[in-house]
C-alpha cells in the first residue's frame, strides 16, 4: 500500500550570518527566535531556531511569482494579490455566512496547484494546503536526541548551540532633516543583532499529505526556485541569510511545468474570474 505521506528532509548550511528575530530584545539588540526545549538529560534550555512559517512564506512568494511569469499575467486586484502571495484572510458577509462552495474550492485546488500545496483563505472559503513545513532546527547537543539517527553523528551535534551564534551589526544614519536643527549633523547609529554564524548546520523536513504526482512536481519546482536564490531571514539583500540546501530525492519539476504550459488559458481564466469576484 502506497504511503499517504511523503517526507523530504535534509541538512541546510548557513553560508553567511542568518538573522531570524523573535519578539524579545536584549537592550537594543534584536535576538534570534528562541524556544525552550527539554534535553535528553532532562534539562530545560533555550534553543534558537528558524520558523517553518518563514520558509513557507518564502516558497509561496517564489512559486506564485514563477507561475505569474509563466502565464504572463499581472494581478490588478489587491485582495487576490494578498491571497496568492500571503495566504489571505477569512472574510464573511450575511450572504456568505456558513455557506461553503465545495465546487469552487475544488476548481481552485485543481487549477492553481501552488494553492493546493500551500492553501489560502479566499472570501469565506478556507482552502487547506497539503504541505507541512517544519522548523529549521540547528544541529547541536541540545537538540541531538530529536534528530533522525542518521544525523546524530554529525560533528556539530556534539557542541552547544551557542557555539553557533554571535552578534553582528549594521549602521543606520539619521537622515530626517525635519527633526534636526539647521546646523546639526546627522547621527550614525550602530545596531547589533544576534545571528547564526556561517557554517551552522540545520535539520529540516517537509511533509506532504496524500500528494498527487502533479502536486509533488509543483513542490519540486518550489525547491528548485529556492535553490536558485537560497536565502532565509532578514537582511538577505545585504548578504545575510545565504544557504546551501541538501535535501534527499526532491521530485522533478518537469510534470508541473508542462502542465502549466498546457493549461495556461484555464489558469488565466480562473485568475480573471477571481479578480472579478473579490
- CB of 147 closer than 8 Å to CB of 140: no
Nearest Cα to Cα of residue 58 among 20, 31, 107: 20
CA dihedral 244, 250, 251, 257 (to 10 degrees): -10
- Predicted TM-score of the model (pTM): 0.85
- CB of 236 closer than 8 Å to CB of 50: no
- CB of 132 closer than 8 Å to CB of 209: yes
- The C-alpha atoms of residue 238 and residue 236 are separated, in whole angstroms, by 5
- The C-alpha atoms of residue 83 and residue 78 are separated, in whole angstroms, by 9
- CB of 243 closer than 8 Å to CB of 13: yes
Helix runs in 8-101, H state only: 52-71, 78-86
Cα separation of the two ends of the chain: 42
Residue carrying the nine cell digits 498546457 = 262
In terms of Cβ atoms closer than 10 Å to its own Cβ (0-12, 13-18, 19+), residue 147 is: middle
pLDDT tens for the chain, residues 1 to 278 = 356 899 999 999 999 999 887 655 555 567 889 999 998 888 999 999 999 999 999 999 999 999 999 999 999 999 999 999 998 876 654 444 444 567 888 889 999 999 999 999 887 788 899 999 999 999 999 999 999 999 999 999 999 999 999 876 555 555 555 555 555 555 555 567 788 999 999 999 999 999 999 999 999 999 999 999 999 987 777 778 899 999 999 999 999 999 999 999 999 999 999 988 77
Nearest Cα to Cα of residue 266 among 111, 108, 116, 113: 111
Structural domain spans, the chain: 5-167+198-277
E strand residue ranges, the chain:
5-14, 21-26, 29-32, 34-38, 44-48, 120-122, 125-127, 131-133, 137-138, 165-173, 188-196, 201-209, 243-247
Amino acid at each position: 500500500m502506497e504511503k499517504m505521506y511523503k517526507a523530504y528532509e535534509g541538512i541546510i548550511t548557513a553560508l553567511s550570518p542568518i538573522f531570524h528575530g523573535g519578539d524579545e530584545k536584549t537592550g537594543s539588540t534584536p535576538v534570534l527566535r528562541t524556544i525552550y526545549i527539554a534535553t535528553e538529560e532532562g534539562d530545560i534550555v533555550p534553543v534558537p531556531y528558524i520558523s517553518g512559517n518563514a520558509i513557507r512564506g518564502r516558497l509561496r512568494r517564489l512559486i506564485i511569482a514563477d507561475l505569474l511569469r509563466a502565464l504572463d499575467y499581472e494581478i490588478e486586484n489587491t485582495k487576490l494579490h494578498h491571497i496568492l502571495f500571503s495566504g489571505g484572510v477569512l472574510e464573511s458577509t450575511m450572504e456568505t455566512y456558513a455557506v461553503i462552495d465545495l465546487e469552487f474550492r475544488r476548481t481552485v485546488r485543481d487549477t492553481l496547484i501552488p494553492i493546493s500545496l500551500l492553501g489560502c483563505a479566499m472570501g469565506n472559503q478556507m482552502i487547506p494546503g497539503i504541505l507541512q513545513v517544519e522548523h529549521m532546527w540547528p544541529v547541536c547537543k541540545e537538540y541531538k536526541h530529536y534528530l533522525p539517527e542518521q544525523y546524530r553523528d554529525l560533528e556539530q551535534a556534539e557542541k552547544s548551540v551557542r557555539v553557533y551564534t554571535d552578534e553582528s551589526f549594521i549602521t543606520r544614519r539619521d537622515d530626517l532633516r525635519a527633526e534636526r536643527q539647521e546646523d546639526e549633523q546627522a547621527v550614525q547609529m550602530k545596531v547589533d543583532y544576534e545571528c547564526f554564524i556561517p557554517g551552522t548546520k540545520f535539520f529540516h523536513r517537509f511533509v506532504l499529505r496524500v500528494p498527487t504526482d502533479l502536486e509533488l512536481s509543483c513542490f519540486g519546482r518550489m525547491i528548485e526556485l529556492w535553490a536558485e536564490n537560497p536565502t532565509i531571514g532578514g537582511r538577505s539583500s545585504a548578504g545575510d541569510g545565504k544557504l546551501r540546501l541538501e535535501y534527499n530525492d526532491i521530485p522533478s519539476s518537469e510534470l508541473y511545468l508542462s502542465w502549466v504550459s498546457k493549461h495556461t488559458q484555464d489558469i488565466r481564466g480562473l485568475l480573471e474570474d477571481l479578480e472579478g469576484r473579490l
